[in-house]
Amino acid sequence: MTNIQNLPLLSLSITIPNNGDFLDSFIFTDVDDVTPLDISGIDFTCQVRASSSSSGVRLNASTANGLLVIIGTTQLGFSVPAAQLPSPGGYVFDIVATADGLRRVVAQATLIITQGVTAIQ
């Protein structure tokens, strides 16, 4: 058994520039808001869209495709190269966890991608 039933629903607001890789990460904690939860054995999937009702997916990230990664056993991180980021603008996403025959939304987020200043060749 995994900790899928113990994962809280996170509310995130993230701003990143488009000229760097998206490498943010976070830790799910137990109800005490201190103790990290082991997320081993849980698959995570995320779709970035312009709005929740938009049919166009701007970014598909998952532990299966390596754009979401489990760091150690307690940290979930994005590992998205800058070249795969959507163009600057405002977006939304959620993160769905799957394990033990269950599927749960464990994060809801806004994502703002700003225009970077330094051009990388």
The answer to whether residue 120 scores a pLDDT higher than 80 is: no
Domains belonging to the chain, first-starting first, are 4-114 (2.60.40.10)
3-state SS, residue 48 = strand
Give pLDDT, residue 73: 96
- pLDDT tens-digit map of 72-93: 999 999 999 999 999 999 999 9
Q: Which residues pair with 61 in a beta bridge?
A: 46
| Percent with pLDDT over 70 in the chain | 100
- pLDDT tens-digit map of 29-60: 999 999 999 999 999 999 999 999 999 999 99
For residue 20, what are the CA distances in angstroms to 80, 103, 119? 9, 31, 10
Tokens describing residue 2: 């995994």
